[in-house]
């Protein structure tokens, strides 16, 4: 039950839901998330740590850059919940704007030094 509670707490925040929607597109650097969400590094990192502690994201270091990706949730319940969320999040206007901002960032090469 503790794992389920942790999962729902992690999903009970708009910023974390936006991060999960962005990570459905693939692995992203913290700087990508900062730019798209228009949030400071400390805020983005705090939300990523919460998601990591809930088992929803994995990270890797490449030099000074941290990259994040969706984790295999590890349970059929979590996998099913994340799949449903993924389908529904794309219907939200804010998430659509975030995804468009991410695509523009990729097209213009604005990712900078982290790639």
- 74 Rama sector, left if φ>0, alpha if ψ -120 to 50, beta otherwise: left
Largest CA distance in the chain: 45
Sorted by where each starts, the structural domains of the chain and their CATH numbers stand as: 2-104 (1.10.10.10)
CA dist 44 → 39, 76, 77, 78 (Å)? 7, 28, 26, 23
Query: Which tokens in the block code for residue 39?
Result: 């949030």
* 3-class secondary-structure state, position 73: coil
Q: Residue-wise pLDDT tens for the chain (115 aa)?
A: 788 898 899 999 999 999 999 999 999 999 999 999 999 999 999 999 999 999 899 999 999 999 999 998 677 888 888 888 888 998 999 999 999 999 998 887 766 557 5
């Amino acid at each position: 039950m503790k794992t389920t509670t942790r999962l729902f707490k992690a999903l009970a925040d708009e910023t974390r839901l936006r991060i999960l929607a962005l990570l459905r597109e693939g692995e992203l650097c913290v700087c990508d998330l900062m730019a798209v969400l228009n949030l400071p590094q400390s805020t983005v990192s705090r939300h990523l740590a919460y998601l990591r502690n809930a088992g929803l994201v994995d990270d890797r270091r490449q030099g000074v850059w941290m990259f994040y990706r969706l984790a295999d949730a590890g349970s059929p319940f979590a996998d099913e919940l994340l799949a449903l969320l993924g389908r529904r999040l794309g219907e939200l206007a804010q998430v659509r704007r975030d995804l468009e901002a991410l695509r523009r960032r990729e097209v213009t090469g604005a990712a900078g030094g982290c790639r």
